Structure 1
């Protein structure tokens, strides 16, 4: 894949492509270029077309996938046709392509998010007239959270980690809380500002305790020295 000097060069190349995709796919298709070079996930939206789909605009936040990508830049994170979800409950079908600089660091992401609610509404209306099974876009659960507020993305990531452990925070042992931290670390949650503060509040522990758990997670992670 072509590599770029900086986000401005990426934008010059992709801006016409973004407009072309949005024009062909229609007003329910959002096309976003994220600037990941600064690692500022709260203000990563560099350019956007049809931002009404997610409620974001230039200067808006990334999603939980942006945090996961920065957790490990060595992987090929390109993904096509996966499920997403807006914070108001609308389903998306999405694709993401990541771009690197000449040193191999990920500096940009081109993301396409198509709102499925108009299609789903039409299918529901037709099903009511002639009931039959309708094929879904995908069987897997949504794994991207798209929101105009990065704190909502982080809260959902914390909720998913707590649900995965299977206990309410008040009933968790130290091992359970460390597992919550491990799940969040694996997803790159701590690339989001004030993550430790929010995790501490949800788990009912101090920030000092949270940082201690996080140090333990990082010390015991595969490949840690």
Structure 2
């Protein structure tokens, strides 16, 4: 076994803890692997949510070997296409870990099985697919509702926030702008504004005074 410094041992142990936390967060869709690059022949130090069929003690991957050879190799490679041995499509991210001397000693890798999400996407696409036209135009939204929401979104964006995160004084300014623009005269305007801001209609009426 390769001799490790106290610093390297500590880093490896900390990376193992990070890997366990990530695995618990992203189970069961994301495989988390810790590679010990100080022992490339038995690099897989820990593996969680095992999707690839690998085991602890398996050798380093091509990325791991590249980092071992070149300390200047890219440290973070995010969202690159990959695949498991059975052909399943994977989105991977690999993060190289260096010690204080700038030497790669480990890699933390995340592999997301895309087939599950592709299945979800297919079902959602089928669910939202509209194939026929109604014999008469029908809408459940009040006329002008989109204009009101767009104006609110624009105002919130100018404040670098979201409509529901606006402060009370900002909501007051916004509602007065909506009133000045004539948007509060539209049918169900107060209800639409209240729903988009996440406040009561009574609050909107008070802002408009």
1:5 alignment partner in structure 2: 7
For residue 22 of structure 1, what is the aligned residue in structure 2?
A: 23
Unaligned runs of 5+ in 2: 131-209
Question: Any stretches of 5+ residues in structure 1 without a counterpart?
Answer: 133-225
Q: Deviations over 1:155-184 (max 9, x none)?
A: xxxxxxxxxxxxxxxxxxxxxxxxxxxxxx
Alignment correspondent of 2:46: 47
TM-score (norm 2): 0.54
Shift, 1:67, TM fit: 2.5
> For the aligned residues, what is the CA RMSD?
2.3
1:1-225 correspondence to structure 2 within 5 Å:
5-6=7-8, 8-40=9-41, 43-51=42-50, 53-131=51-129
- How high is the TM-score relative to the length of structure 1? 0.50
Deviating beyond 4 angstroms after TM superposition, the runs of 4 or more aligned structure 1 residues are 129-132
**Greater Rg, structure 1 or structure 2?**
2
Instruction: Provide, for residues 96-148 of structure 1, a one-character-per-residue CA deviation record: whole Å limited to 9, x for no partner.
Output: 1111223221110011111111111111233344459xxxxxxxxxxxxxxxx
> Is residue 4–residue 102 contact of structure 1 (8 Å, CA) maintained in 2?
no
Find the aligned partners of 1:123 and 1:4 in 2 and give their Cα distance: 47
Q: Aligned partners of 2:99, 2:21: CA distance in 1, in Å? A: 24
Aligned length: 126
Relative contact order, higher structure (CA 8 A, sep 6+): 1
Residue 22 of structure 1 and its aligned partner are, at CA, apart by 1.1
SS in 2 for 1:95: strand
Counterpart CA distance in 1 for 2:107 and 2:116 is 26
What is the CA-CA distance between 1:62 and the residue it aligns to? 2.5
Q: Determine if contact 2:40/2:60 at 8 Å carries over to the other structure.
A: no
